[in-house]
A = this chain, B = another copy of it.
Amino acid sequence: MELILNKKPKRPTIIEGFPGVGFVGTIAAEYMLNHLNAKSIGYLYDPAVPPIAIIHGKETRRLLEIFHAQKENLVFIHAISGVSGLEWEVANEIIELAKILNAKELISLEGVTSPDEAATSRIFIRSNDFKTEKEFLKLGAEKLKEGAVTGVTGALMLSGDHVNSTFLFAETHSRMPDSRASAELIRMLDLYLNLKIDPKPLVKQAEEFENKIKDMIKLGIESQQSHKKDEIQRINYLG
């Protein structure tokens, strides 16, 4: 796997969102990078990642593209699909990216299944940085005490000790894309990062993106290989 970088912003906060329970990481990252008008600064390349060109207005994006929101100095890396079996490698490249950019911190967005049918999703947190954790707890997040996390986020939890890493989990009740849980993630990130995102269009737009992913799932975006990953991804749960 190759890391191609056309620009190297300094001391950014890196936000990653890969497919997991409820696709909440993917949805939240996609929403934020579009909302903040982030621009491509590179991508991860591996011949095993299928060639999917995603058309977004004037841009043509690829899986594992890296975006930068200049004003907020946020770097985003996310994917809708295509990283099955490459989780360790993607995680390694993200840590490499954090080192190259001397990142301030790395924030991972994930879902976690819950039997509770509460109206709003709780947000759970794990962090290797005491101060960050405290701040998120103050904002309403709860500590995640039991669970199993897979995929790129799982790999990052097992490899990312040398970087300030925070993992946020939005409670979700479904394996299908869940834009409401993603919205809760964005709300909390908005407060933490002081982005002042207008929360009104958020749920609506997240729902649109949720529908798009649902379409892609229906249309078979997941290759045979990805099914395998899916099976593993589904085990993110609340202990």
Using known A-B contacts A157-B60, A223-B228, A223-B231, determine if residue A87 contacts B51 with beta carbons closer than 8 Å: yes
Contacts of A50 in B (CB 8 A): 87, 150, 154, 232
User: Is the beta-carbon distance between A231 and B235 smaller than 8 angstroms?
Assistant: no
A154 touches B52 (CB 8 A): yes
Chain B residues near A231 (CB, 8 Å)? Answer: 220-224
Is the pair A55, B149 in contact by a Cβ cutoff of 8 Å? Answer: yes
B interface footprint on A209-231 (CB within 8 Å = 1, 0 otherwise): 00010011001111111011011
Number of copies of this chain in the oligomer?
5
A158 to B63, CA, bound (A): 10
Q: Which residues of B lie under 8 Å from residue A154 when comparing CB positions?
A: 50-53
Residues of B within 8 A of A216 (CB): 148, 235, 237
Chain B CB within 8 A of A239 CB = yes
* Closest beta carbon of chain B to A221's beta carbon, Å: 4
A153-173 Cβ-contact flags toward B at 8 Å (1 or 0)? 111011000000000000000
B-side contacts of A230, CB under 8 Å: 220
Minimum distance in angstroms from A6 CB to a CB of chain B: 12
Binding site for B on A (CB under 8 A): 47, 50-57, 60, 62, 87-88, 91, 113, 126, 144-155, 157-158, 212, 215-216, 219-225, 227-228, 230-232, 234-235, 237, 239
Does A126 lie within 8 Å of B232, measured CB to CB?
no
> 25 A-B Cβ contacts within 8 A?
A51-B87, A51-B88, A51-B150, A51-B154, A51-B155, A52-B148, A52-B154, A53-B157, A53-B158, A54-B147, A54-B148, A55-B145, A60-B126, A113-B219, A146-B212, A148-B216, A215-B237, A220-B230, A220-B231, A221-B234, A223-B228, A224-B227, A224-B228, A224-B231, A225-B228
List, in ascending order, chain B residues with CB within 8 A of A91's CB.
Answer: 51
Residue of B nearest to A21 (CB): B219
Residue of B nearest to A128 (CB): B60
